[in-house]
A and B are shown apart, each in its own frame.
Chain A
Amino acid sequence: MDGRVADHAPTDHRGDAAVPHPLVAAHDLSLVFDAADGPVHALSEVNLSIARHDFVSLIGPSGCGKTTLLRVIADLVKPTGGSILVDGGTPEQARLDRSYGYVFQAPALYPWRSVRRNVELPLEIMGLPAARRRDSARAALATVGLDGFENKFPWQLSGGMQQRVSIARALGFEPELLLMDEPFGALDEITRDGLNMHLHELWKRTRLTVIFVTHSIPEAVFLSTHIVVMSPRPGRITQVIENTLPRDRELDMRETPDFLQIAHQVREGLRAGHSYDGATGPT
């Protein structure tokens, strides 16, 4: 670990209109867990810059630290070295400002709340009046194509619909940044294709910045403007691939030579990081 832990005071660069600063900037970021059998280097010297309105996928095998990196950005864990800025401030400041929405691997809906009240949960916590909560929730549910399901309860919906509710919940308070941790990992491929298309349309329409953790190469290539290839032991970034595909995409594109070319590049990147070697990880 180097000694740069608290170098960055939460300075506000927001007045700097001339140089548009990146939304997320990590510098030599590292994170070491103390496990029973010695320290685990979950993240090691991660340098990454994410511009506004980008769609960035983090891809790599289990244990490469992609979820950990997302959790550091969300201030759900603290890094042990290096620095990270989110929207010009510390991740904690960004969390307190509610500048990101987080979508987990599982929908994590509250089963005692109806769909509408699940989407209203963050708005309640922010103290919005009931009428505005209701309007925002309705709009967010319409965005994910779930109008008319307001009064259903989570157990009445399919897995794909539940995950769409959780996306609506993250969108309801209009954050600038959407953090998604393998949101479609537990879904079947047909549902997943549909949701990928949906998410792509949503991103194009809203100009959100999305950081998207995935295991799937086609998913990463289809959705992203940039693909960050990561590798395990220690968790690090081995390559950042810029996606040259046009911004407007259709599912059919996944069979075109251009698409396959980029997918090949990602696969090569994973191979170069020895991601295919000890592929006998814990999961």
Chain B
Amino acid sequence: MTELAVPATRLRTPPAGASLARQLVRGRTLPTLTVLAAIIVIWFAGAVYLNAPRTIEAFERQEIAWTFGQLVEATWSMERPVLPTPAQVFADIWANTVERSVTSRRSLVFHAWVTFSSTAVGFLIGSALGVLIAVGMVHVRTLDRSLMPWVIASQAVPILAIAPMIVVVLGNIGLTGLVPKAIISAYLSFFPVTIGMVKGLRAPDPLQLDLMRTYSADRAQVFWKLRWPASVPFLFPSLKVGIALALVGAIVGELPTGAQAGLGARLLTGSYFGQTVQLWSALIMAALLALVCILLVTLAERLVLAARGTPP
């Protein structure tokens, strides 16, 4: 019977090429790649448009009779272009990640790691704080009334105004490096977690709460057996917003400190010295880092929800 079973299974499993093609057509891959292609085309065209005036100026200074082909070539290979091409940015990233030791001060992996570590610390502090505030607001009526306006007001203040003050104040009491950046990250990331968790902890319906009362459950039992598990679907979307904000906080925290390391420092030195290629590669690295952060939270979400037996 085994001899029969093998070809039958083979028939049912489509060849790898066909499944890849189907994945492209049906999944999100093809639309995403299409958008990427469009962005790259517009980017190359934009580089020509934005770099042309300075290039033409240079041609004219050297009294060279230039063709359009030469113009395009020149705009795509400037050392300090207004807008570098994707190829230049990619080459810079490649040179500073794959081809450079991670211990080097010019390694983008090193800078990304510095930024990531304060993002992660700040995100953990901020999320814990956000959950604590939400738990307090759900359980203590006075906190519910008094705290929410302050929570909202805290986010109305531009972080760019607060970040230097935090850095200076903490620097005066001897805290430098990771701690001030992590605190700025925490300051930004606690907010979505608080908002999401207040809603999540209040998600149980009246019947589910009545049920606990019929068992004469105490407040701790109601919290751990009902409110907390009911809030988990609200927690993870908040954490995704929170970690993205924590990354913004870490980068902003690196700007005013004169920090030597971190993607924020790369952005700052890049713009000081007109190193636009460095500026853009730090930007792209920051975007990739954000993607990694969100993927980590999504992975944690999948694992937790799968353990809870949530419908697929």
Taking CB atoms and an 8 Å cut-off, the chain B residues in 210-242 that contact chain A are: 210-217, 221, 225-226, 229-230, 232
A 101-122 to B, binary, CB cutoff 8 A, 1 in contact else 0: 1101110101111100000011
Chain A: interface residue total (CB-CB under 8 A):
25
Nearest residue in A to B229 (C-beta to C-beta)? Answer: A112
Asked if A131 lies at the interface with its beta carbon under 8 angstroms from chain B, I say no
Q: In the complex the two chains form, is B213's CB within 8 Å of A112's CB?
A: no
Q: Which residues of B contact A96 (CB under 8 A)?
A: 216
Known contacts A112-B308, A112-B310, A155-B311; is-contact A100 B226 (Cβ 8 Å) = no
Q: In the complex the two chains form, is A102's CB within 8 Å of B214's CB?
A: yes
Given A74, A75, A76, A125, which contacts B225 in the complex, CB threshold below 8 Å? Answer: A125
Q: In the complex the two chains form, is B232's CB within 8 Å of A124's CB?
A: no
Known contacts A74-B214, A126-B215; is-contact A112 B309 (Cβ 8 Å) = yes
A 242-254 to B, binary, CB cutoff 8 A, 1 in contact else 0: 0000000000000
Q: Which residues of A contact B217 (CB under 8 A)?
A: 125
Asked if A153 lies at the interface with its beta carbon under 8 angstroms from chain B, I say yes
Taking CB atoms and an 8 Å cut-off, the chain A residues in 111-148 that contact chain B are: 111-114, 121-122, 124-126
Known contacts A110-B226, A126-B215; is-contact A76 B210 (Cβ 8 Å) = yes
Asked if B208 lies at the interface with its beta carbon under 8 angstroms from chain A, I say yes
Across chains A and B, the number of contacting residue pairs, with CB separation under 8 Å, is 54
**A215 CB → nearest B CB, Å:** 18
- Cα A12 to Cα B217 in complex, Å, equals 24
- Cα A124 to Cα B212 in complex, Å, equals 12
Q: Which residues of B contact A114 (CB under 8 A)?
A: 309
Q: Which residues of A contact B214 (CB under 8 A)?
A: 74, 76, 95, 100-102
Asked if B207 lies at the interface with its beta carbon under 8 angstroms from chain A, I say yes
Taking CB atoms and an 8 Å cut-off, the chain A residues in 161-200 that contact chain B are: none
B 300-312 to A, binary, CB cutoff 8 A, 1 in contact else 0: 0000000011110
Q: In the complex the two chains form, is B225's CB within 8 Å of A121's CB?
A: yes
- Cα A105 to Cα B205 in complex, Å, equals 13
Q: In the complex the two chains form, is B311's CB within 8 Å of A125's CB?
A: no
Q: Which residues of A contact B221 (CB under 8 A)?
A: 125
**B304 CB → nearest A CB, Å:** 10
- For this complex, 9 residue pairs linking A to B, each with C-beta atoms less than 8 Å apart, are A74-B214, A75-B213, A76-B210, A95-B214, A104-B211, A108-B205, A108-B207, A121-B215, A125-B217
18 A-B pairs besides A75-B213, A112-B230, A112-B232 with CB distance below 8 A are A95-B216, A101-B214, A102-B211, A104-B207, A104-B211, A105-B207, A106-B207, A108-B210, A112-B229, A112-B309, A112-B310, A114-B309, A121-B225, A125-B216, A125-B221, A125-B225, A126-B215, A153-B311
Using a CB–CB distance below 8 Å, which chain A residues touch chain B? Answer: 74-76, 95-96, 98, 100-102, 104-106, 108, 110-114, 121-122, 124-126, 153, 155
Counting from the closest, the 10 A-B pairs by CB-CB distance are A108-B207, A153-B309, A112-B308, A102-B214, A125-B215, A122-B215, A112-B229, A125-B217, A104-B207, A155-B311
